[in-house]
Amino acid sequence: MLLTYFKCYPLLLNLPRNIISVSAKYCDKGEFKELVKIANVSKPIFKTKSPHLVPVGYLPKIPNQSLIRHLQWIMKKDLLKQDMFLIGLPGPLRGRIILQYLEMMHQEVEYVVLSRDTTENDLKQRREIVEGTAHYIDQSAVRAAIEGRFLILDGIEKVERNVLPVLNNLLENREMQLEDGRFLIAPERYDKLLSKHSKKVLDDWKLVRVSEDFRVVALGLPVPPFKGNPLDPPFRSRFQARFVQLNFEDQISEFSDQHYKISKDALKNFLSACYTFVSNESAALGLPKFPIENLYTALELLNKFPNLPMECVIKWMYPYSVLSEEAQKAVLHTLKTFAVNPQKSRTNVKVIENASGNNKFSCPVEFHIDGKKTVLHILGHKQCNRVTSHPNFIPNPYHDSILADMFQTHAVQDFCIIGNKGSGKSILVKQFASLLNYPVEMVMLYKDMTARDLLQQRITDDKGNTLWRPSQFVKAAKEGKLLVLDGLHRLHSSTLSVLQRLIHDRETQLYDGTRLLRHDRYNLIKEKFRLSDKDMEDRKLIPVHPSFRIIALAESPKLSSKDIWMTPELMSMFLFHVVRPLSLQEEKMVIQNLVGKTHEKIDLVLNFAHALRSSKDEALQSVSGSFSTRQLIRIARRLSSFPNESVYSLLTQACLLKFLPELTKQAVENVLEGCGIDDLQTSILRDIDVNEGKLCIGSTSAFVSTPGSSKVKVPEIIFYNSQEHLEVMEAMLQDFLLGEHLLLVGNQGVGKNKIADRFLQLLNRPREYIQLHRDTTVQSLTQQPTVVDGKIVYEDSPLLRAVQLGHILVVDEADKAPTHVTSILKALVESGEMMLSDGRRIVHHTDANSQANSDTVIMHPDFRMIVLANRPGFPFLGNDFFATLGDIFSCHAVDNPTLESEISMLHQYGPQVPEYILRKLTKFFGELRYMSDSGLISYPYSTREVVNVVKHLNKYPEDGISHVLKNVFDFDNFSLELKETLEGLFEKHGIPSENQTIKIKIADKFNLPKPHYKAEWQVENISDCWTIKSHKLYCENICKLPVLVQNLDFSDARATLFSEQQSYYQLPLNDNNIPMDMTASPNLNDGIIYVATANPVSLFKIDTVKTLLSCVNLSGYFPTVRSGFKPKINISALSSPYDGFVFFHETMTEQTFLVNPSNGIMNKLNFFNVVEEAVSKITRAVYSKSVQSNFELHLGFPSGKKILLCGKNGSKLILLDFHTNQSLHVEPQENIKQIIVLDETSLILRGE
């Protein structure tokens, strides 16, 4: 096919003669015109009114046959005055083809990128306020229609429904009613009216002529298979469609000529593999669409780096490593089929200092790919006279290889880094920017970000005039900065599409009509029309700095999610680098270099984190996200500064183990146990001391601040200390001293606000408070609108005041705001940078370029954040703040206090309330919380409810506990199931319900007859004494057994029935367990009962005060049941010096132990001398089946200090005195039939 066009375009003069033939000019109505001819189709070129709006730099020097056919088809439709629709795969090809045609025909263009935020006003007219008067400004569609330009609508499928039909009449009849009262009319109709009326009359009628050269070209993707809104039938019927795609044969020919450094066979295999990924068969396998239109970038990369393995290029174009295992296998199989095999290559880079060059915006970089050297000039912001590394970057082989890959892709295109939270994406970018002297423009992306937030924001000045303020994107493009888009996975795909032209062509049209042009195209227009920079600015043409680059950061897509952010359109915009978490050795090296000498406990932390990451359990893998490299560095710093900290406590706090589901929690506990991490932290009594300007919480101390004039913002509250709250505050103080920002997570009403306020009160630090909610926006976080003198004035928010003045910002209810809003805090916490809604920027005080001015806010060194959030999951209705941003804060779980701590605290709030009432309420609400944690009830009753009940009872005791509790439980009146559960708990805890009738059932009272004299006993003179042998008690085989502690299942028996029975307890026994003996503590105020059971042999401790049950299993010291062993057990509780110990005697095996069921300590007791004990052991060993037990009865004394053992038939007595640590052995002259203990020194013995 022959393409003919004319020499008025400098870029076309060097085309081969077999493609171009020059035809003569011809005369039309006395005006000479030039003609472009493609085969048998030709069209004249007309002079344009605004030549600066004609695209330049798009038409290739040697167009291939596919392009020529596309251009010919467009020319035909142009001559037929038909609107066109170019449909195809994601990428820049469709837009470039139409721009190439417009450049060839010297035709002006209006380019509109559509998104879900596009409205009717963006297409027709937008109202602007100038000096108090509203004016309607024509937008792209109206300007194109009046001036005879091509209107390109890019992204038809992204527009919300019923927006584009506003153009239907303009498409069909070239007519449109405008908001300012004007009416666009077809040129034929206008000319006919003009022949009958004057132009002034038509102007008075507000009729505007639509140019006959006006055309509309729509660009879109087929829906389905791609996501988007389907075409409206009336809208679709007004276009002529053409499917546009790259041709395999044309590309083989074109790339073979252009990329001579690549062999034809290798090129053919590479292209064959790429085209296989876009086939229908690949789609059937579930593979995402391959970005085939990125082949030009890929071949340019291979041309610059001939030694680069082709598989690396495909991996950067198509990051298949983040896909499912089945998809990865399919990709690798395809690559193997076409001999594009994965190869391990090692690339090293070195930025050369003090290098002279003509290009002041590039740095010479030396690449060593598998030992082969290549030197290229890579874009930088300025010449690299001095190469500096980022101070926080720790070199390691893996990150160095990723940096080398980033340098290579940076040579040709923008790129995206994919990796999990805390995997090092941000520090890689900082190191990359530091090496190339790039200033970084960080942009935090969020879900509801609009197209205007990306390009231009609508503002008003002091006079109320509407203006457009350029965004960070535009500023970075103009100044040549490195634009970092953090959170690409959060942004809606249609919103990102507005940047597609800026990414692909470095060109875009803004909302105010300004056009950003690639620097070479800008210079071409400037030189061709001899315009100055001021002239170009007046024409709203702005150059994109040659150094401008974009790096996007994103988290790995969740394969289980239906809405995967890595869409085919996004894949066409970037090259990709997937960053895996560091290996154990790599991570250890980074931590050691950052923290310095690390504590030996860090090995346990690393082993645990990598055990979670390598687990195949999805629940454990989700928990591993809480142990990113960033979090491990924080833990290492904590251990380095506070070496006595418990590793178990640090790890469980970091993942909020208390709030995990029960199965996941147990799985994490198993991993902790497997890594040798036990909960060895002992209970330490902490106290608060403030003396001479120094605060001490436990063993941690800090200096108290002197706030000066801001003292009014220091919290001053009433706070009652509890050990649990002091433990949290000490941990907070430790993190605070390390410069960390804090996150407190817990149920409602557990005292998060109280703890934060008390913490700041003790430190004497001013507080700024902000409470988030569902309607919190990014703008409201940084500015607060107020009305002053009838004008809207924006004042600094508490966040900004805290940043400027160095106050502590308390962010309450952080889980109530959308996570995409709170995610903008990431940059503020992580790097100390944040872009404000009014265009100002917060910069860290250590930034070398930070200077206070109207556009910059320097962060105060003392600024900190304390964020408060409810725990994630049902029944809390908030968002999962911890999952989104938990790893950038130091997390602390706040739980309800223990029983005794809560009783002590409640006593402070209600000193007039009897303690038994406080204890009853505490136990009642404690069981409600346990049921909530177990999933039996939904609402997590907190300390706040109990405090309110106690305050009421303290002030109005006559109301009664049942009436006051209605203030809490009337919410549940209409939940019959919960109401039944609550009534059962009321009865169990002895709390009468108002709907219940209390019955009285006590035993009958019988009066005993008066005592009368019957006989008198007298003790005769002692004629003889029994022989007494004394031995010293000694213990052996001291060991410690595991203790199982759980809540005691108890019930108060007097809730509905008043009787002698006060309460009863349910032990967790099965059908085989047999209670053998029970005893109570000698100190009756302890409220402790001990129970011995058989099958298996165990000892239970029942703490009726704390409602706790402890159990020690002793079965390992006795024969099994299968051997016929039938134990006979007697127990007695001991007192000082053996407080907490139980005398445990088993008659059949003649074993005696002292057991402490609280801590598991067990001693074997011997009360014979060594010889007797040896004889006893031999006798039992030889005659084990025939020898009967020697002792069948034992009696305990009331004091708990003595035990009396009685042999069989009363033939022998042994008195064990634990106070003197001796045993007295007595052999009576006659058998003893009955023994009565009178007191500590007297017994009554009855013989046979």
What are the tens digits of pLDDT across the range 1049-1069? 777 766 667 777 777 788 888
Residues 6+ apart with CB under 8 A from 1185: none
Residue 130 has pLDDT above 70, yes or no: yes
Reported as a pLDDT band with limits 50, 70 and 90, residue 259 is low
Mean pLDDT, residues 99-112 taken together: 93
Helix 584-595 with 602-613: angle, nearest 10 deg: 140
Distance separating alpha carbons of residues 1219 and 1199, to the nearest angstrom: 10
Cα atoms in the Cβ-side hemisphere of radius 13 Å centred on 713:
20
Task: State phi, psi for 485 to the nearest 5 degrees.
Answer: -100, 100
Q: Which pLDDT score is estimated for 1198?
A: 75
Reported as a pLDDT band with limits 50, 70 and 90, residue 959 is confident
Place of tokens 């038909």: 82
> What's the pLDDT tens digit per position in 507-555?
999 998 899 999 999 999 999 889 999 999 999 999 999 999 999 999 8
Q: Which amino acid is at 1027?
A: T
Place of tokens 């002692």: 1022
Question: Tokens in use for 1046?
Answer: 């759980």
Residue 405 has pLDDT above 50, yes or no: yes
Residue 359 has pLDDT above 70, yes or no: no
Q: What 3-state class would DSSP assign to 638?
A: helix
Distance separating alpha carbons of residues 1224 and 1207, to the nearest angstrom: 13
Q: Count of CB atoms within 10 A of residue 40's CB?
A: 8
Reported as a pLDDT band with limits 50, 70 and 90, residue 1 is very low
Fold of 346-579: Rossmann fold (3.40.50)
Question: Tokens in use for 1102?
Answer: 């029942």
Distance separating alpha carbons of residues 402 and 408, to the nearest angstrom: 10
Reported as a pLDDT band with limits 50, 70 and 90, residue 976 is confident
CA-based radius of gyration for the chain: 42
Cα atoms in the Cβ-side hemisphere of radius 13 Å centred on 294:
30
Q: Which pLDDT score is estimated for 850?
A: 58
Residues 6+ apart with CB under 8 A from 245: 88, 89, 93, 292
Distance separating alpha carbons of residues 885 and 894, to the nearest angstrom: 18
Question: What residues does 1146 pair with on adjacent strands?
Answer: 1129, 1151
Reported as a pLDDT band with limits 50, 70 and 90, residue 47 is confident
Out of 2-11, 105-114, 146-155, least confident range:
2-11
Q: Count of CB atoms within 10 A of residue 854's CB?
A: 7
Question: Tokens in use for 49?
Answer: 């009114």
Reported as a pLDDT band with limits 50, 70 and 90, residue 182 is very high
Q: What 3-state class would DSSP assign to 613?
A: helix
Residue 20 has pLDDT above 50, yes or no: no
Out of 541-545, 684-688, 1207-1211, least confident range:
1207-1211
Residue 11 has pLDDT above 60, yes or no: no
Out of 133-142, 531-540, 591-600, least confident range:
591-600
In terms of phi and psi (left: phi > 0; alpha: psi -120 to 50; beta: otherwise), the region of 488 is alpha
Residue 158 has pLDDT above 60, yes or no: yes
> What's the pLDDT tens digit per position in 751-802?
889 999 999 999 999 999 999 888 887 778 887 777 776 666 778 888 889 9
Q: Which amino acid is at 115?
A: S
Residue 479 has pLDDT above 70, yes or no: yes
Q: What 3-state class would DSSP assign to 1042?
A: coil
> What's the pLDDT tens digit per position in 270-303?
888 888 888 877 777 777 888 988 888 888 888 8
**For 688-870, CATH number?**
3.40.50.300
Cα atoms in the Cβ-side hemisphere of radius 13 Å centred on 42:
18
Q: Which amino acid is at 744?
A: L
Question: Tokens in use for 166?
Answer: 């506003």
Place of tokens 């059937």: 284
Nearest Cα neighbor of 1146 from 1196, 1080, 1094 is 1094
> What's the pLDDT tens digit per position in 720-762?
888 888 989 999 999 999 989 999 988 877 888 999 999 999 9
Distance separating alpha carbons of residues 859 and 836, to the nearest angstrom: 13
Residue 14 has pLDDT above 50, yes or no: no
Distance separating alpha carbons of residues 219 and 157, to the nearest angstrom: 9
**Is residue 1095 a contact partner of residue 1125, using CB atoms and an 8 Å limit?**
no
Q: Which pLDDT score is estimated for 563?
A: 66
Q: What 3-state class would DSSP assign to 661?
A: coil
Mean pLDDT, residues 1112-1136 taken together: 85
Q: How far is C-alpha 434 from the chain's CA centre?
A: 28
Nearest Cα neighbor of 721 from 695, 689, 691, 687 is 687
Reported as a pLDDT band with limits 50, 70 and 90, residue 84 is very high
Distance separating alpha carbons of residues 1077 and 820, to the nearest angstrom: 62
> What's the pLDDT tens digit per position in 1000-1044?
777 778 888 888 888 877 767 666 677 788 888 877 767 888 888
Q: Count of CB atoms within 10 A of residue 1119's CB?
A: 15
Residue 860 has pLDDT above 80, yes or no: yes
> What's the pLDDT tens digit per position in 196-212?
989 899 989 999 999 99
Q: Which pLDDT score is estimated for 1188?
A: 44
**Is residue 694 a contact partner of residue 667, using CB atoms and an 8 Å limit?**
no
Mean pLDDT, residues 1133-1148 taken together: 87
Distance separating alpha carbons of residues 993 and 858, to the nearest angstrom: 61
Mean per-residue pLDDT over the chain, rounded: 83
Reported as a pLDDT band with limits 50, 70 and 90, residue 932 is confident
Place of tokens 């030694």: 307
Strands 150-154 and 109-113 come out as parallel
DSSP calls for 425-463: HHHHHHHHHHHTTPPEEEEE--TT--HHHHSEEEEE-TT
Reported as a pLDDT band with limits 50, 70 and 90, residue 1176 is low
Question: What residues does 111 pair with on adjacent strands?
Answer: 152
**Is residue 470 a contact partner of residue 512, using CB atoms and an 8 Å limit?**
no
Mean pLDDT, residues 366-381 taken together: 79
Mean pLDDT, residues 971-975 taken together: 81
Reported as a pLDDT band with limits 50, 70 and 90, residue 463 is confident
Residue 115 has pLDDT above 70, yes or no: yes
Q: Count of CB atoms within 10 A of residue 565's CB?
A: 18
Q: Which pLDDT score is estimated for 74?
A: 95
Question: Pick the residue with more confidence: 942 or 1092?
Answer: 1092
**For 1-244, CATH number?**
3.40.50.300
> What's the pLDDT tens digit per position in 908-929?
888 898 888 888 888 888 888 8
Distance separating alpha carbons of residues 326 and 320, to the nearest angstrom: 11
